Structure 1
């Protein structure tokens, strides 16, 4: 509540005062302080100040007197009260016209009214008002805390804050989700993206304003304070105001109290959410480990945890391949240990997964195990493989974009379970996704998406590679090439792979390998001489191709997992 100029002029001491100009402005002007000023004004007058003057410094010079009034007006003073009858007998018409034109209030005070009495009356009223505001602030604080303790809805708490401020607010949690408030999120985000700390402490030099940031647009102002608890970020508190709004200390104090209560509520909610999140992850991991869980048990537990289980889900397993190397590449990781940094990154990645699923309007369940991200993503209820493929690719495309913004250069391999596993098929879908990830990384290299349906030949080769007789045939076929490559570094194995993938077209294979045609022909003859196989014989080509695939799938080879065949 502010002391208006209208309120001030109702004091008995102003009974004989005359309003010379600005009668229509009395209710609009607030009085925050009162002072006595004579020429020159310079920077001795602050905004919303009632200025008292005798005109002693300029009464002999009309031009100087006009400049004095103009300076008081430009300082933002609420009004200028001039004591007439000694130095100034009549306020010049030039000054009256200027004040009327600029809607500036000028008061004519009889000389007999002592300035000291005016100052006493106004400062007493301001002090009473400040005491009333302090009492009201404590009442609001107590009311908000009582609402928190009695578990009132957060929307009700925010409504009380908005009513006291007379402005819309927006409260967001540390995941960037709206917790409460009536301010439009699009307007808030638009200004928040351009927000910068105010360079002019226009409202006050009080320390509370140093905690607050301000953003502006042509039609609104945005005030922001972080919501913190035990130095942990819990969210953000925004206030949207008209462009001409000037925040006062009362409103700033009220916001500080509101932020404190929001911190209590968000801390409590975050603790509940973290506990629920942990239980959900344990439940998801159980689904991946146990095949014969009774359907009723699954449904009851899912309902208890708020999970929609009666939907078609498909398992995706993501493995960030290079997080450790990214840790060492970070120029500034805030002195975090590697373990702490990796845990934080996995938590951030999980948030990106959550937001990506939300963006495409799909339910998703998450867990982590051995540095891998396990996601059960809701696919279309329509049993169409193309629709399921589209959902998964849309989700992963979005995840890739988000992760590359969060961690530029991150490489993630994805294993995707069989399409259209149906309802309550988590165990099967998980194992197929795990198989696709394992086989795909070995056969196709890292950083790709491996669909279980597309790994049939790879899975067959992987199983055959465990057979001792197959291993013996494989090594007897390609060991000469391996030994030659190690000694001469000619890379005959990759030469054959490129030749075979290009259907025996020497010119095309040479371009792929960036070799001269004659150099490629020399290598091909060397392959034939070392293996005693003919590259014009389909059976020999099949044997060599099959042996290389088996060798690349074996776990004890000294070759990169990024080998592509």
Structure 2
């Protein structure tokens, strides 16, 4: 409730007063305070203030009095009441013309009316209204808290806030997801993006206003307040209004109460989500550790967490290769900051996994295992391997595309389990994905997708490399080349790899290595002389190729090894 100028002028004390100008707008003018001002005005008058004056400071100079009246108008005062009959006998026509043109209310007060009596009447009325408003605000606060405690839907709570404000709002959580509110989200996001760096605090001496930020567009303006609890940001509270709207203390008090309840709800919801996320994470990890779980218990746990485990799933393991590098590139320094940053990045990645699952219309379960991501993606009952791989690649394409926008330069290696392992094959699929990741990173380098079905040779080599006799054969075959490379830096091993991959075509291999043909021939003769093997003999070629594969699988300790 507000006190209008029309209400004030109906007080008995104004019975003999006369409205000289602006009579048509007295119902639209608010009175928030009353004061006595004489020249000069400067910044002593605030908006919506009823100003009383005797004109004592400028009655000897009507031009000065005109400037005084003009300054009062420009200060935003609701009206100027001039005591006539002593210093000012009659309000000059120049001033009344100006006031009429500006719809500025000027009141002619008989000299006999004491200013003290006017101030008493007006301040009493304002105090009564403020008292009533305080009671209403407490009732509103109690209503919001009661709705929160009785677990009313948050959207219902915000509807009550919108009704009380008479304005549409939007509440977002700290991830920028809309939680409730009827304001146009596209308008809010557009205004927020354009105003985020140029938001200004509401101009007011009141401490509550200092929390409120305002951005103005051509037709609408956006008010914003941070939602915080225990010094942690929980989200954002937005109010949309017309560009001409002027926010009042009452509205800001309502917003503050709404933000307080929003903080309670978001904190509570965050705790619930975190707890559920922890339970889901533990459940998914348990699927990778139990080879033959008790299916009934597994189904009960899955149902309580919202998982559908009676579908067929294929395991994917994602390993972010360079989060450390990105952290320092982002300006990070301390260990504590790094841990917090890493956790938030993994949370972002997990949210993208959920979105990607929806994009391919597949169920997805995921968990964080130390520095890896374990994902189980649904595969259809009768899908062929090619169809499954297509869906898998579509899923990972979506994830990588979104993550590249969030974390430019992020490199992830993916190990993918075998299709058609069947239902309840979580452990087997995980082991195959893990094997594909381990072998793929060693054999093909980082940042790629390694399918278990495509690593048969690599897995065979890795298995054979653990045999002592095989290792001795590979070592004795390659040691002359390794020692020669260390002394002369001729890179004979990669020379052979290029030659072999190009089916013994010297010209093609030379182009790949960026060598002159004669230089390549010299290197090939050097390989033969050091190993006592002939590059025209199929068995010797097989031995060299096999030994290099064994060596590259992990025997060479001096080679950069990217072990999990």
TM-score by length of 2: 0.90
SS at match of 2:283: helix
CA RMSD of aligned residues (A): 2.9
How far apart are the structure 1 equivalents of 2:391 and 2:239? 38
1:436 is aligned to: 436
2:187 is aligned to: 187
Alpha carbons of 1:331 and 1:175: their partners in 2 closer, same or farther (altered >3 Å)?
closer
How far apart are the structure 2 equivalents of 1:447 and 1:222? 43
| Structure 1 residues 41-440: aligned runs within 5 Å | 41-193=41-193, 194-196=195-197, 198-199=199-200, 201-202=202-203, 204-327=204-327, 331-333=331-333, 336=336, 342-357=342-357, 362-378=362-378, 383=383, 385=385, 387-404=387-404, 406-419=406-419, 424-440=424-440
Deviates more, 1:383-392 or 1:148-157: 383-392
Q: Is 2:214–2:223's contact at 8 Å kept on the other side of the alignment?
A: yes
Instruction: Please list every run of 5 or more consecutive structure 2 residues that lacks an aligned counterpart in the other structure.
Output: none
2:512 is aligned to: 512
SS at match of 2:41: coil
Shift of 1:526: 0.9
How far apart are the structure 2 equivalents of 1:112 and 1:395? 85
2:528 is aligned to: 528
Q: Is 1:502–1:509's contact at 8 Å kept on the other side of the alignment?
A: yes
Q: Is 2:202–2:214's contact at 8 Å kept on the other side of the alignment?
A: no
SS at match of 1:116: helix
Asked if 1:482 is matched to 2:476, the reply is: no
Alpha carbons of 1:328 and 1:197: their partners in 2 closer, same or farther (altered >3 Å)?
closer
Alpha carbons of 1:334 and 1:348: their partners in 2 closer, same or farther (altered >3 Å)?
farther
How far apart are the structure 2 equivalents of 1:384 and 1:71? 82
How far apart are the structure 2 equivalents of 1:62 and 1:416? 90
How far apart are the structure 1 equivalents of 2:218 and 2:382? 48
1:560 is aligned to: 560
**1:338-381: CA deviations, max 9, x gaps?**
55554454344334434554566654222122321111234567
Deviates more, 1:226-235 or 1:396-405: 396-405
TM-score by length of 1: 0.90
Shift of 1:519: 2.4
Shift of 1:304: 1.0
Q: Is 1:222–1:240's contact at 8 Å kept on the other side of the alignment?
A: yes
How far apart are the structure 1 equivalents of 2:61 and 2:264? 63
Q: Is 2:320–2:372's contact at 8 Å kept on the other side of the alignment?
A: yes
Alpha carbons of 1:146 and 1:380: their partners in 2 closer, same or farther (altered >3 Å)?
same
SS at match of 2:42: coil
How far apart are the structure 2 equivalents of 1:291 and 1:238? 50
Alpha carbons of 1:158 and 1:538: their partners in 2 closer, same or farther (altered >3 Å)?
same
SS at match of 1:553: helix
Deviates more, 1:154-163 or 1:553-562: 553-562
Shift of 1:121: 1.2
**1:221-271: CA deviations, max 9, x gaps?**
222222222223322222222222323233223222222222222222211
SS at match of 1:109: strand
Deviates more, 1:104-113 or 1:269-278: 104-113
Q: Is 1:365–1:377's contact at 8 Å kept on the other side of the alignment?
A: yes
How far apart are the structure 2 equivalents of 1:269 and 1:498? 58
Asked if 1:498 is matched to 2:498, the reply is: yes
SS at match of 2:288: helix
Alpha carbons of 1:508 and 1:208: their partners in 2 closer, same or farther (altered >3 Å)?
farther
Alpha carbons of 1:15 and 1:276: their partners in 2 closer, same or farther (altered >3 Å)?
same
**1:493-552: CA deviations, max 9, x gaps?**
111122223333434433433333332222122112222333344443333223212221
SS at match of 1:51: strand
How far apart are the structure 1 equivalents of 2:230 and 2:22? 52
